[in-house]
């Protein structure tokens, strides 16, 4: 219940002044309903024939009820839509600001489930708030009316409410648990859906794989989801029936027992019955919110497990601080990073402790066998992972969560599993205007792709060509350090020549620190150093004489103009 309270509070966090208005109009709607009920009861019991006052009251209250109901619904829906928009936006911000390792551990399918299913669940919960508020107002008003008619009946309603709340609490906790199971099975299903789209070619080529995957794996996950959904609904229905028994029991007691035990007027009796019947709708409405609210609460918990609470502020580690330009020094001192072991028997991979220094104006090759830790090193180097022991320093300043985002802004990278955005997002338009075409020419892709209005004309090109476009994007970022993870692996020899023979030396000559993960030993001579990783340790660092001068610090990158383009 505490969590539920926190969840509701969270949903209402941005609407303090709106809340007052909503409560006032909601109360007005609730109270006018009850007033209407009282007048109808009076009219039924004969007052209507004699009094014009009741007729006027009936019309006035009916108008008030309709208008206040309209206003409160309108306010609540406006608030709900604004909250849904803010939630969606907040969630996207949280995802891009969550610790990278947390996102990686959760997996792309889980992030996708959060962005789609959890946002949806939260939206439903927010959408339900208008009904929730109005129903509470009507129930409160009806209870007051009952208290006015007879305190005994009111006590009965209080008893019902207490028993109902106890049941509701039980129900809520059980539904919450099964909602969690529903959400977990959705996560598994999302994982399979991801395999279905990503592995389409492999599934199409192999009938056995396809049939086992769809008929066994996907079916199992879908069946589990069906099962948990069914359990949730059953639990809900059970308590729903229990509440109905309570409710009709109370009406029975009021109508059958009260007249025998107490001296009650016919008007009081019809009043009770009326009010109680009138309360049925709002009560079912409230109960109907249980699965929606519990699903919303589970969604909030899932979102929070991304590593950042959704209601946290928008500040991130050093986001406003400008990138340092000019000569820079990047230093690993006893820095290490380990993945957590998956099973009890599994040994986790550890990178380091490493002691390495890389300066701007240096070209460093990173080599090593599969699984030696090259990509992990690149992730620590670019600030995607923070070292768990030791430190990574930029110009002597240790990188912490507080300056991590600032640190990352010093790197332009093409990862081995890079993603190419069609739009050149966040880049200087003047730089795009003056240099983009040159880089396209340098990488000989200008005949396939052009840049218009800050975006590539197409990114539906071959994998090698896409990689060249990713390189163009990196060049336009013009950052102090450049990191390429296996960039040249799937390039034709001529592009390898351009990359190693022209581009990398040019970057170095322009004062950039260049770190290249590679297996192309043919080109090692163009670098200053080769660092070899083996089981996460740097085994050897054969120093090479710097092949070019050391005073290379022109601030701006310009495309390399090839004479034989």
- C-beta of 107 vs 259, nearer to ligand ATP: 107
370 counts as binding ligand ATP under rule CB under 6 A: yes
- CA 417 vs CA 13, 190, 216, 340, 414: distances in Å: 39, 21, 30, 22, 8
Distance (Å, rounded) from C-alpha 454 to C-alpha 134?
Answer: 50
Distance (Å, rounded) from C-alpha 138 to C-alpha 1?
Answer: 22
Vertex 469: Cα angle to 431 and 520 (nearest 5) = 115
Partners of 45 in the β-ladder: none
**Sign of the torsion formed by the C-alpha atoms of 74, 75, 80 and 81:** positive
For the beta carbon of residue 229, count every other beta carbon within 10 angstroms. 17
Residue list 309-368, contact with ligand ATP (CB under 6 A)? 339, 349, 368
Query: What's the DSSP call for residue 346?
Result: P
Using CB under 6 A, count the residues that bind ligand ATP.
11
Q: How far is the CB of 471 from ligand ATP (least distance, A)?
A: 19
373 counts as binding ligand ATP under rule CB under 6 A: yes
- C-beta of 278 vs 377, nearer to ligand ATP: 377
284 counts as binding ligand ATP under rule CB under 6 A: no
Distance (Å, rounded) from C-alpha 146 to C-alpha 34?
Answer: 10
Q: How far is the CB of 349 from ligand ATP (least distance, A)?
A: 3
Q: How far is the CB of 110 from ligand ATP (least distance, A)?
A: 14
- C-beta of 370 vs 563, nearer to ligand ATP: 370
In this structure, are strands 363-368 and 529-534 parallel, antiparallel, or unpaired?
parallel
Token pair listed for 528: 């200053």
Of positions 46, 266, 371, 501, contacts ligand ATP by CB under 6 A: 371
Are the CB atoms for 389 and 110 separated by under 8 Å? no
Are the CB atoms for 376 and 419 separated by under 8 Å? no
- C-beta of 291 vs 373, nearer to ligand ATP: 373
Stretch that binds ligand ATP, among 24-32, 372-380, 465-473, 506-514 (CB under 6 A): 372-380
Token pair listed for 464: 């090698």
Q: How far is the CB of 362 from ligand ATP (least distance, A)?
A: 21
By CB atoms closer than 10 A (0-12, 13-18, 19+), residue 390 is middle
Stretch that binds ligand ATP, among 117-125, 182-190, 370-378, 426-434 (CB under 6 A): 370-378
Letters for 104-133 (x = contact with ligand ATP by CB under 6 A, - = none) are: x-----------------------------
Q: How far is the CB of 357 from ligand ATP (least distance, A)?
A: 21
Of positions 376, 404, 491, 518, contacts ligand ATP by CB under 6 A: 376
Q: How far is the CB of 390 from ligand ATP (least distance, A)?
A: 17
Q: Which residues bind ligand ATP (CB under 6 A)?
A: 104, 339, 349, 368, 370-376
């Amino acid at each position: 219940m505490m969590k539920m309270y926190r969840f509701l509070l969270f949903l209402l966090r941005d609407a303090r002044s709106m809340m007052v208005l909503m409560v006032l109009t909601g109360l007005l709607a609730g109270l006018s309903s009850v007033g209407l009920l009282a007048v109808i009861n009076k009219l039924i019991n004969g007052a209507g024939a004699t009094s014009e006052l009741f007729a006027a009251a009936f019309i006035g209250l009916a108008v008030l009820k309709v208008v206040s109901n309209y206003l409160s619904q309108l306010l609540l829906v406006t608030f709900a839509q604004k909250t849904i928009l803010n939630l969606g936006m907040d969630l996207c911000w949280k995802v891009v600001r969550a610790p990278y390792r947390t996102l990686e551990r959760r997996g792309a399918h889980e992030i996708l489930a959060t962005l789609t299913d959890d946002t949806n669940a939260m939206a439903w919960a927010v959408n339900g708030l208008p009904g929730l508020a109005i129903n509470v107002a009507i129930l409160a008003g009806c209870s007051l009316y009952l208290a006015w008619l007879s305190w005994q009946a009111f006590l009965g309603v209080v008893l019902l409410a207490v028993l109902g709340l106890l049941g509701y609490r039980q129900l809520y906790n059980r539904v919450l648990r099964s909602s969690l199971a529903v959400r977990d099975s959705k996560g598994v299903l999302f994982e399979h859906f991801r395999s279905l789209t990503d592995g389409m070619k492999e599934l199409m080529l192999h009938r056995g794989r396809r049939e086992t995957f769809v008929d066994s794996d996907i079916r199992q996950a879908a069946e589990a989801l069906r099962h948990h959904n069914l359990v949730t609904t059953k639990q809900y229905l059970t308590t729903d029936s229990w509440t109905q028994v309570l409710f009709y029991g109370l009406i029975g007691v009021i109508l059958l027992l009260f007249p025998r035990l107490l001296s009650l007027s016919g008007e009081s009796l019809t009043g009770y019955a009326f009010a109680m019947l009138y309360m049925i709708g709002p009560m079912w409405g409230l109960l109907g919110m249980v699965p929606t609210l519990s699903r919303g609460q589970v969604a909030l918990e899932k979102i929070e497990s991304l590593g950042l609470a959704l209601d946290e502020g928008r500040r991130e580690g050093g986001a406003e601080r400008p990138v340092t330009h000019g000569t820079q020094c990047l230093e690993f001192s006893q820095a290490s990073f380990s993945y957590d072991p998956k099973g009890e028997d599994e040994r986790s991979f550890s990178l380091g402790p490493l002691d390495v220094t890389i300066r701007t104006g240096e070209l460093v090759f990173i080599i090593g066998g599969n699984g030696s830790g090259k990509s992990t090193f690149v992730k620590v180097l670019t600030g995607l992972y923070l070292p768990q022991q030791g430190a990574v320093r930029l110009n002597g300043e240790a990188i912490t969560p507080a300056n991590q985002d600032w640190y990352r802004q010093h790197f332009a990278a093409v990862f081995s599993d890079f993603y190419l955005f069609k739009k050149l997002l966040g880049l200087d338009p003047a730089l795009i205007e003056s240099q983009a075409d040159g880089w396209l020419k340098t990488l000989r892709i200008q005949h396939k792709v052009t840049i218009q209005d800050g975006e590539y004309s197409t990114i539906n090109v071959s994998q090698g060509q896409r990689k060249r476009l990713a390189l163009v994007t990196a060049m336009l970022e013009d950052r102090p350090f450049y990191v390429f993870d296996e960039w040249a692996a799937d390039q034709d020899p001529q592009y390898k020549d351009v990359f190693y023979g022209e581009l990398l030396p040019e970057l170095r000559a322009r004062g950039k620190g260049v770190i290249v993960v590679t297996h192309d030993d043919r080109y090692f001579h163009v670098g200053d150093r080769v660092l070899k990783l083996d089981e996460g340790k740097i085994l050897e660092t054969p120093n090479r004489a710097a092949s070019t001068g050391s005073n290379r610090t022109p601030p701006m990158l310009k495309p390399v103009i090839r004479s034989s383009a």
